[in-house]
């Protein structure tokens, strides 16, 4: 019986995800779902990228997911883009119903791209479709080069991986070769972007990819 309930929950989620996907497709809006551990640097990636993308004329809106506080939404709001914070309490991921509700609050006619920063978690946000065009995995050097092997599902579903904090590589035992080998063992066509939000290294390449 419990399994049946769980299936219904997931099915309901997919109905909302499909609605969001259809709505945004009709309006020509891309939806990205950023997934990564707490402290991977997801918000820092947004802080770095949003001004650069705005310079290119891309109109962005952001949905922030966290258990508590509006800290990340406050960091994004100073960039002068529409942002909504979802607090999940004990919830460890955002679901498609929450995303669908937020879409009714955004000025969709004036938006080209919505970026979701999911609740910090490498595991279960992967299992909930939010209607996004793509999932993007964000992982930092300090998490270790073996994480793709230990948490393969997100790296299987995310074609695009952003490795953050690359300026810290000299101070850790992180091996870029081991990391790349691990990624390739999961998915051959993975696009890996190296980034330092401190120095800005790698930002231009990422802008080109987001701009596609």
> What is the pattern of x (binds Mg ion, CB under 5 A) and - over residues 73-102?
------------------------------
| One of 20, 43, 164, 196 touching Mg ion (CB under 5 A) | 43
What does the H/E/C string look like for 46-111? HHHHHHHHHHCCCCEEEEEEECCCCHHHHHHHCCCCCEEEEECCCCCCCCHHHHHHHHCCCCHHHC
Choose among Zn ion, Mg ion, none what residue 43 binds, the Cβ cut-off being 5 to 8 Å by kind: Mg ion
Q: Please tell me the distance from the alpha carbon of residue 75 to that of residue 89, in angstroms, as a whole number.
A: 20
Nearer to Zn ion, 115 or 119 (CB): 119
Contacted entry of Zn ion, Mg ion, none for residue 92, CB cut-off 5 to 8 Å set by kind: Zn ion
- Nearest alpha carbon to residue 68 among 40, 91, 96, 42: 91
Site string for Zn ion, 118-137 (x = CB under 5 A): ------x-------------
Count the residues of the shown chain that bind Zn ion, applying the rule CB under 5 A.
3
Count of residues for the chain? Answer: 212
Q: Residue 88 CB: number of other CB atoms within 10 A?
A: 16
Binding mask 56-95 for Zn ion (x = CB under 5 A): ------------------------------------xx--
Q: Quick one: DSSP state of residue 13? A: H
Stretch that binds Mg ion, among 18-26, 68-76, 135-143, 190-198 (CB under 5 A): 68-76
10 binds Zn ion (CB under 5 A): no
- Would the CA dihedral through 80, 52, 169, 92 be positive or negative? positive
Q: With CB under 5 A as the contact rule, which of the stretches 15-23, 35-43, 86-94, 194-202 interacts with Mg ion?
A: 35-43
Name the minimum Å distance from CB 6 to Mg ion: 28
What lies within 8 Å, CB to CB, of 119 at 6+ separation is 65, 66, 67, 88, 91, 92, 93, 94, 125
**Which residues of the shown chain bind Zn ion in the complex (CB under 5 A)?**
92-93, 124
**Which residues of the shown chain bind Mg ion in the complex (CB under 5 A)?**
42-43, 72
């Amino acid at each position: 019986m419990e399994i049946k309930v769980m299936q219904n929950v997931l099915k309901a989620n997919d109905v909302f995800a499909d609605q969001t996907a259809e709505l945004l497709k009709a309006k020509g809006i891309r939806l990205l779902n950023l997934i990564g551990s707490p402290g991977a640097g997801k918000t820092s990636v947004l802080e770095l990228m949003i001004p650069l993308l705005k310079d290119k004329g891309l109109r962005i809106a952001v949905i922030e997911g966290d258990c508590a506080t509006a800290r990340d939404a406050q960091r994004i709001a100073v960039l002068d883009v529409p942002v909504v914070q979802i607090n999940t309490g004990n919830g460890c991921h955002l679901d498609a119903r929450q995303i669908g509700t937020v879409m009714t609050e955004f000025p969709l006619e004036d938006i080209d791209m919505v970026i979701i920063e999911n609740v910090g978690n490498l595991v279960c946000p992967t299992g909930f479709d939010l209607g996004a065009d793509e999932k993007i995995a964000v992982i930092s050097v300090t998490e270790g080069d073996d994480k793709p092997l230990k948490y393969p599902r997100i790296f299987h579903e995310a074609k695009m991986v952003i490795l953050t904090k690359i300026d810290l590589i000299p101070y850790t035992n992180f091996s870029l070769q081991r990391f790349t080998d691990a990624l390739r063992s999961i998915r051959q066509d993975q696009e890996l972007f190296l980034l330092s939000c401190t120095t800005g290294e790698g930002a231009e390449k990422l802008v080109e990819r987001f701009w596609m």
